[in-house]
Structure formats: C-alpha cells, structure tokens
Amino acid sequence: MNIKTLLFDLDGTLINTNELIIASFLHTLEHYKPGEYDREKVITFIGPPLADSFKTVDAERYEEMIDFYRTHNHAFHDELVREYEGVFETIKTLHEKGYNLAIVTTKIRKTALMGLKLMNLDSYFDVVVGLDDVTHAKPHTEPLELALERLGVTKEGAMMIGDSPHDIHAGKNLGIPTAGVSWSIKGEEAIRALEPDYVLETMADLLDILEVESE
C-alpha cells in the first residue's frame, strides 16, 4: 500500500477522552438546563464542534456554555483522560518508519496539545490542526487540506483515521482512504455503517494494513 501520510483524529481515536467529555457536557448542561440531559443524550454530542452541539441547546448562550464547558474540561483533563492500548507503540513505530503524521481535530489547539503531551505523543506530530486553525470543521475538507499543506504533501498517499462520522465523511469528501476505529463510543456497528475503507480492531492493525514491520 502506497500510503505515507496519516491524518488522525484525536479524541476517541488516539486518546480516550470519553469520560472527560461526557463529564464536561453533563456539568455544563446541568448548570444551564437542569435535569434535561443524561449520559445517553450527551454521547450524541461527541464528535462535532462544541458550537454545533451547544447551539442546539441554547442558540443565544452557546458561547457562554462553551466557556463553561472548557473550564471544567481543562480542570479535570489530566485526571480523566486515559490511553488506548497499543496507540503509543503504533504511533512511535510509524514515526520511526518515516510516515507523515498529523492531528486533525475539532478541539481547539490548546486542548489538543494538552492531550498529546499527557499521553507522550506530542513529539511524534509535527502538525496539529485544531478548530481555531480553520473556518470550516470536519466533515469539510479544509482541516485535512491544511494539515497536508503544513506537512508539505498532497492528498495522494494520505489516509484519514477517526472514530466519528465527521472523520470518515471528511476523508471521503477529500477522496482519500479512511479507517474507522472499532473502539468508538458510537459503537463498532455505527462505524461500519459509515463504510470506511478499513475498520481497526486495535491501532496496531494499522501497521498490518500499511504493511509496516514493527521492531
């Protein structure tokens, strides 16, 4: 396979921020809309930019809600973020083998860098494209195109890896191969329904797909 550039989503793909995100949504929604939201409902908010989610709750106060969410999210970040088995080793191997690696996330850059640093992944990614770097978030192709531009490569030989419809649709919209992760909080069935080119059971599966020999 002639893939040399890998564009990764962050949350739910490389780092397990599910409990942090759910806790931050519940904390915020309980403050603004007491008793109206439970865990099952807030899981539907995972993936899109915060603005898109909170506008559906309160179009007048969504910016205030984002600030409230982020205050909680940053305060509990290191306590609630967890690693996914095999991610560090896989990313390290890909970096050592000379693959172009970039993060394309709907988080703001500051928060994305917090997660990468916590999981010791920051040194492997020369390019991080956050929500505040673009005008249009995934599934628009702009974030992916910016990542490729900053890497100094074209879309030929690139792949998008993620855990949500926004990731898979963004890759398809750009016309590049896509890989969905089975550990998505949306569930493996939901990921397969998006018809990505590949479904990863573990991150190490990516090495097999790319025919990379790990040390």
38 is annotated as an active-site residue: no
Q: Is 76:23 a contact under the CB 8 Å cutoff?
A: yes
Eight-state DSSP code of residue 141: S
In a domain, 215, yes or no: no
Q: What is the pLDDT of residue 121?
A: 98
Q: Is there a domain that residue 69 lies in? A: yes
Share of the chain above pLDDT 70, in %: 98
Give the pLDDT mean for 70-84: 96
pTM of structure = 0.93
Q: With respect to residue 149, please indicate whether it lies within any of the assigned structural domains.
A: yes
Instruction: Identify whether residues 197 and 149 lie together within a single domain.
Output: yes
Q: Do 115 and 186 fall within a single domain?
A: yes
* pLDDT given at position 47: 85
Banded pLDDT at 177 (limits 50, 70, 90)? very high
Residue 209 pLDDT more than 80? yes
Whether pLDDT at 215 is above 90? no
What's the CA gap between 179 and 155, in Å, rounded? 15
- Residue 1's pLDDT is 67
Identify any residues that bridge with 80 across adjacent strands, giving them in sequence order. Answer: none
Q: What is the mean pLDDT of residues 176-199?
A: 96
Residue 214 lies in a domain: no
Same structural domain, 104 and 27 = no
11 lies in the same domain as 43: no
Residue 166 predicted with pLDDT over 60 = yes
Q: Which of 9, 133, 163, 167 is catalytic?
A: 9
- Give the model's confidence band at 133: pLDDT under 50 very low, under 70 low, under 90 confident, else very high: very high
Q: 106 with 142, same domain?
A: yes
Q: DSSP letters of 60-101?
A: TTHHHHHHHHHHHHHHSHHHH-EEPTTHHHHHHHHHHTT-EE
Residue 194 and residue 98 in one domain: yes
Residue 214 has pLDDT above 70, yes or no: no
Instruction: Band the pLDDT of 53: cuts 50, 70, 90.
Output: very high
Which of residues 164 and 1 earns the better pLDDT score? 164
Please compute the mean of the pLDDT values over residues 183-200 and round it to a whole number. Answer: 96
- 33 pLDDT more than 80: yes
> Quick check: is 45 in a domain?
yes
Our count of domains for the chain comes to 2
Domain of 141 in residue numbering reads as 5-16+83-209
Question: Which among 107, 110, 108, 146 is positioned nearest to 127, based on CA atoms?
Answer: 146
Same domain membership, residue 188 and residue 91: yes
Q: Does 100 reside within a domain?
A: yes
Are residue 66 and residue 106 in the same domain, yes or no?
Answer: no
